[in-house]
Amino acid sequence: MQKHVINKEHYDKITDFDCIVIGAGPAGLSASLTLGRARRKVGLFDDGSNRNRVTTMSHGFISRDGIKPQQLKDIVLAEIAQYPSTSYFHTKVTEVTKESGNETFIVKTADHEQYRAEKIVLATGIQEKFSIPNVRDYYGTSLFSCTYCDGWEMKDKPLIVIAEQEKFMLHMATLIYNWSKDIVLITNGADISKEAMQSLQKRHITIKTEPVKKLLGNNGHLQGVEFNTGEILKRSGGFIVPTFYRHNTFVEQLGCEVDENGTVITDGMSRTTQNNIYIAGETEKKAPSSVTIAAAEGNKAAIAVNSDLVSQRF
């Protein structure tokens, strides 16, 4: 994608923003739209690494069910462009530092530019890690992580559920059973207790504990699973529980406190424990959420930012 700048005439003139939003997923887009409508000078920065870029459709978002993620992004960017105080930069933020002696921040980008902001909204989302080779060849097309996003499309198909911790094995298999009764649970070499196994087998859910060698299929469409034993299991799709992580260290760099689960501590209105730093979307909990929830959290963060600016400047 080419560099896209909303209100490009401001690009060389404006280096100071009321708020810089990092990440243009549903949370960051929602925050930027709300702040633009509040007449705030907003810089929205995004490098195109949103994890939903690999999926063909987003589901469950009212009036936009089944829309392509990039199409949804383009629609919202066009809406944001209507507000003259907003600017969008298709570039990677590499560093956020607090200016010495005051409460403002310097944001540096991969193209060696820097910007100043009074407030920062972290909406960079999360990314997935997989322990099985070639999962990404199928992820987003026939293998998914969110049942509410893609369960309907996979209904009544012969499915796999890949999970390597017992709590996730039980949770995901139980949940997927709502959409399909033809399920094979794959633990990829991980152990499962006798009690858990019996619970699933009562519902005729097959359990395979052998390590997986690779997934089989064409053009993103899963056709089977090959185990280290040489056995091949034919399947048409499924769900997997990845390991999720924050793909940057802004939370740590800025000193935002997190709890024992890795969730960023907030006041319930997106304010972190560091003054003028707000957080929204999946990056807060280091866990996946729906488009609807992420967008709502972006709106909430924007309201907190604007409320604080109003209070400070009135």
Q: Strand, helix or coil at 203?
A: coil
Per-residue CA distances from 220 to 133, 160, 184, 223 (Å): 14, 15, 20, 9
Domains 8-126+246-313 and 131-242 share a fold: yes
Please name the residues in contact with 77: beta carbons below 8 A apart, sequence gap of 6 or more.
4, 6, 24, 29, 88
Q: Taking residues 253-268, what's their average pLDDT? A: 96
**pLDDT score recorded for residue 6:** 46
- Using the predicted structure, report yes or no on whether residue 100 has a pLDDT greater than 90: no
Per-residue CA distances from 278 to 144, 267, 304 (Å): 30, 10, 8
- Using the predicted structure, report yes or no on whether residue 68 has a pLDDT greater than 90: yes
Burial class (CB in 10 A: 0-12, 13-18, 19+), 300: buried
Its CATH class, for the domain covering 8-126+246-313, is: alpha beta
**pLDDT score recorded for residue 99:** 87
**pLDDT score recorded for residue 53:** 86
- How far is residue 3's CA from residue 17's CA, in Å, rounded to a whole number? 19
| Main-chain phi, psi angles of 288, to 5 degrees | -70, 155
Chain mean pLDDT for the chain: 94
* Secondary structure in 3-state letters for 37-65: HCCCCEEEEECCCCHHHHCCCECCCCCCC
**pLDDT score recorded for residue 54:** 87
Residue 294: CB atoms within 10 Å: 27
CA-atom Rg of the chain in angstroms: 22
Domain boundaries, the chain: 8-126+246-313, 131-242
Fold of 131-242: FAD/NAD(P)-binding domain (3.50.50)
pLDDT in tens, 129-159: 999 989 999 999 999 999 999 999 999 999 9
**pLDDT score recorded for residue 56:** 85
Q: Which of 90-104, 115-129, 230-244 has the lowest mean pLDDT?
A: 90-104
Scan for tokens 């893609």, then name that residue.
150
Burial class (CB in 10 A: 0-12, 13-18, 19+), 10: middle
- Report yes or no on whether pTM surpasses 0.75: yes
pLDDT in tens, 225-251: 999 999 999 999 999 999 999 999 999
pLDDT in tens, 172-215: 999 999 999 999 999 999 999 999 999 999 999 999 999 999 99
**pLDDT score recorded for residue 236:** 97
The band of 103, judged by pLDDT with boundaries at 50, 70 and 90, is confident
